[in-house]
Amino acid sequence: TSFTKKLLTPQPPPSINAATNGGGNSQGDSSYFLPGATVATILMLGALHARRMYDDKKHEEMREKGIELEFQPDAKASFLRLLPLRSISRCWGQLTSMEIPVWLRPHVYRAWARAFHSNLEEAALPLEEYTSLKEFFARALKEGSRPINADPQCLVSPVDGTVLRFGELKGAGAMIEQVKGFSYPVFSLLGASSLLPTAADINVQEEHTESITTTEKSKKSWWRVSLASPKVWDPTSSRAKRGLFYCVIYLNPGDYHRIHSPADWNILVRRHFSGHLYPVNERATRTIRNLYIENERVILEGVWQEGFMALAAVGATNIGSIELGAFNMG
Amino acid sequence: STVVLIFQAPISKLLQEGDSSQEFNFNVKCGDRIRVGEALGRWHSS
């Protein structure tokens, strides 16, 4: 706090009797040294930011021309593998959990909001009440900020973010496209013991429903639900065939970072995979192989009215921990 | 951070083997901004 205040208050110009202050020239030099280092750091950060903005602009132009960037590992991605990202993330977590003085909090959070395009109006609490950046980052929103789509036949988004990929998973080796030119198996993301229905399961499910509808039309039994396997029998939709779909949503640092249920579903399995903490930004998806499989993640699996549902929350360097659950008082 | 959602949803019964005509339709595009509670896609009972 004292260092910040010293920076913000104008320094008196060195005067002719600086020597008489007993500090001599060395005292004057040291007072110049600190601002010099700060200016150098700011200039370096500025240069890096300018380079980043230039790259982003170039990619944006390519995207507008409809040219999709392909998967291309590069030296920076390999260099990331050498960095102690878990330790860096842990330090970042400790730094952001430091208590900020009350008078400084609005300034810090507004700066964050300006940098990452956050909407501060939606925050549930006044800015002064978030003791640390970590607490502000995991903030709840005001009541009614996120109305849920009332259409009973729609699936809603569980998070705020940007849709990266979506589509239908077909065939036994269902693959999700990470970026053009590279895909990863969905079983690797969810884990070998996943409840994910395979094509064979789905066919058995169809035969099962058809045999029931033809042979026992008159004697329907509600008790024919078998919890021992992922086959879910629901007579109301037994006439419809089911496909498997996926959607990948990226949350940027300024987005609201709480995860909600995409539908009324029953979670059967929670699974945690410890792993790397690579960044998951757009550049990383194009340069790091199996990014979502190698990164730390939490998997929730269960069933909803239309069958199987799974949600994978993938961590990143600045998101080193994912809460699995919490006990609330009352 | 990133969230990957994988789910089953109805597709049309009148399928020819090998291709599918979807009943469930996404109503987003790549690059779209989306918020909690907004529809990702919907299906129509046939």
Q: pLDDT tens, A12-62?
A: 655 555 444 444 445 556 666 668 888 888 889 898 888 888 877 887 888
Q: What angle do CA A201, A203, A208 make, to 5 degrees?
A: 90
Reported for B10-13, long-range contacts at CB under 8 A and 24+ positions apart, including other chains, are B10/A237, B10/A240, B10/A241, B10/A242, B10/A243, B10/A306, B10/B43, B10/B45, B11/A168, B11/A240, B11/A241, B11/A242, B11/A243, B12/A240, B12/A241, B12/B46, B13/A239, B13/A240, B13/A241, B13/B46
Q: Please say if the pLDDT value at position B34 is more than 50.
A: yes
Q: Please say if the pLDDT value at position B20 is more than 70.
A: no
Which one of A76-85, A101-110, A174-183, B16-25 scores highest in mean pLDDT? A101-110
* Residues of chain A positioned with their CB less than 8 A from the CB of B45: 153, 237, 240
What is the nearest CA distance from B24 to chain A, expressed in angstroms?
9
* Residues of chain B positioned with their CB less than 8 A from the CB of A245: 6-9, 24, 26, 41
Q: Is A242 near chain B, with CB under 8 Å?
A: yes
Q: From the list B3, B12, B26, which residue is nearest A313 (CB)?
A: B3
Q: Residue type for A109, please? A: Y
Least confident of A148-162, A278-292, B2-16: B2-16
What is the nearest CA distance from A138 to chain B, expressed in angstroms?
13
Q: Is B13 near chain A, with CB under 8 Å?
A: yes
Name the residue with higher pLDDT: A47 or A208: A47
- For the segment A184-197, the average pLDDT, to the nearest whole number, is 88
ipTM of the complex: 0.85
Q: Quote the pLDDT of residue A12.
A: 60
Do the beta carbons of residue B3 and residue B16 sit within 8 Å? no
Instruction: State pLDDT tens for residues A147-185.
Output: 999 998 899 999 999 999 999 988 667 889 888 888 899
Give the side-chain half-sphere CA count within 13 A for A120. 16
Entry field: residues in chain A: 330
Q: What angle do CA A85, A88, A91 make, to 5 degrees?
A: 150
DSSP tag of A109: H
Q: From the list A63, A156, A189, which residue is nearest B37 (CB)?
A: A156
Q: Please say if the pLDDT value at position A239 is more than 60.
A: no
